[in-house]
Structure 1
Amino acid sequence: MASKQTRLRAIALYKELHRLGRQYPDPSYNFHGKLRGLYEKNRNLSDPEEIEKALKLGEYIRNETLALYSLRKYRHLKRMYPEDLTIDRR
Structure 2
Amino acid sequence: MPNNQLRLRALRLYKDLLYLSKDYPDPAYDYSGRIRKMFENNRNLTDAAEVERALKMGEYIKNETLALYSLRKYRHLKRTYYPPDN
Pick the TM interval, shorter chain.
Answer: over 0.9
The normalised TM-score by structure 2 is 0.92
Q: Unpaired segments of 5 or more residues in structure 1?
A: 85-90
Partner of 2:9 in structure 1?
9
Residues 1-90 of structure 1: matches in 2 within 5 Å? 3-83=3-83
> Alignment partner of 2:43: what SS?
coil
Letter in 2 for 1:81: Y
Aligned-residue CA RMSD in angstroms? 1.3
**What percent identity do the matched residue pairs reach?**
60
Q: Unpaired segments of 5 or more residues in structure 2?
A: none
Number of residue pairs aligned between Structure 1 and Structure 2:
83
> Alignment partner of 1:65: what SS?
helix
Letter in 1 for 2:37: G
Structure with bigger helix share is 2
* Aligned structure 1 segments of 4 or more residues deviating by more than 2 angstroms: none
Output the CA distance in 1 between the equivalents of 2:81 and 2:14: 37
